[in-house]
């Protein structure tokens, strides 16, 4: 079963990257440091970047609250013009969701490719 979930996540990431490149002409790369599945979307005209982090659940089927700490550290390394999105295909508690929102991290639980693309487009235009 884990192999199936991994395949679906990898397929999602590939479709997302392709659609962002094709529809908007943005530069989309796998993040050069850490995490093989993370994407960086850059508008080369404005220099604005959106980092998209993909996380899976812990042993209880939802992201652990400790995820907020690691994401907060990552967010603090970004420039003020950059944004951090979290995409998960696992459950996310209301407490964790609220904490991430307070940190300025946009969270997507079980999204479609179109959901993420639309939000990236909106964030790039802001």
Average pLDDT over residues 60-89: 87
Cβ atoms 39, 29 nearer than 8 A: yes
- Split at pLDDT 50, 70, 90, the class of 32 is low
Q: What is the pTM of this model?
A: 0.84
Q: What is the pLDDT of residue 104?
A: 92
Find the angle CA(39)-CA(48)-CA(81) to the nearest 5 degrees: 105
| CA atoms of 39 and 120, how far apart (whole Å) | 12
pLDDT band with cut points at 50, 70 and 90 for residue 59: low
User: How many Å separate Cα 73 from the centre of its chain?
Assistant: 15
**Residue 40: per-residue pLDDT:** 92
Write the CATH number for 103.
3.40.1350.10
Its domain, for residue 61, covers 2-125
Average pLDDT in the 66-74 region? 88
Using H for helix, E for strand and C for coil, what is the string for the chain? CHHHHHHHHHHHHHHHHHHHHHHHCCEEEECCCCCCCCEEEECCCCCCEEEEEEECCCCCCECCCCHHHHHHHHHHHCCCCCEEEEEECCECCHHHHHHHHHCCCEEEECCCHHHHHHHHHHHHHC
Residue-averaged pLDDT of the chain: 84
Number of domains in the chain: 1
């Amino acid at each position: 079963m884990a192999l199936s979930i991994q395949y679906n996540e990898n397929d999602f990431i590939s479709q997302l990257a392709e659609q962002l490149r094709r529809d908007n002409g943005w530069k989309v790369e796998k993040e050069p440091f850490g995490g093989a599945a993370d994407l960086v979307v850059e508008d080369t005209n404005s220099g604005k970047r959106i980092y998209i982090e993909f996380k899976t659940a812990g042993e209880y089927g939802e992201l652990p609250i400790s995820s907020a700490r690691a994401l907060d550290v990552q967010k603090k390394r970004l420039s003020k013009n950059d944004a951090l999105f979290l995409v998960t295909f696992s459950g996310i508690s209301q407490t964790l969701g609220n904490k991430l929102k307070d940190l300025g991290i946009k969270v997507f639980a079980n999204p479609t490719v179109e959901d993420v693309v639309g939000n990236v487009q909106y964030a790039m235009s802001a």
